[in-house]
Amino acid sequence: MLVSFGSACRTMTQVGLLTFLPVYLAYELKYSPFVVGICLTVIQVAGFIAAPIAGHLSDKMGRKRVVISSMLLTGVMIVAWRSPAGARYSCCSSL
């Protein structure tokens, strides 16, 4: 039950991120449409790369450990990205 709730929260976060991140990057940070597209592409490509790795780890270590670890890591990354120092290291800040 806890894993399902956590997965639902992660999915809602991802949908919100993919919905509002382009608006934030374009209007608040004044990124060009090309750079906004690159940022969203990086996010999706990272997911495509991580999915088979997570599947392999899930087979070896167990699904629950992998899901909980990935959710904890996602939470840490979101907090780090929201910090002023972390914003400099986001995927788009160097473009």
pTM: 0.63
Tell me: the pLDDT tens digits for 63-81? 888 888 888 887 787 777 7
Res 33: pLDDT: 92
Percent of the chain with pLDDT over 90: 7
Contacts for 31 with CB less than 8 Å, ≥ 6 apart: 25, 39, 92, 95
**Burial degree of 42 (CB within 10 A; 0-12, 13-18, 19+):** middle
Instruction: Name the percent of the chain in helix, strand, coil, to the closest 5.
Output: 85, 0, 15
Res 94: pLDDT: 47
Number of residues in the chain: 95
Confidence check: pLDDT of 92 > 60: no
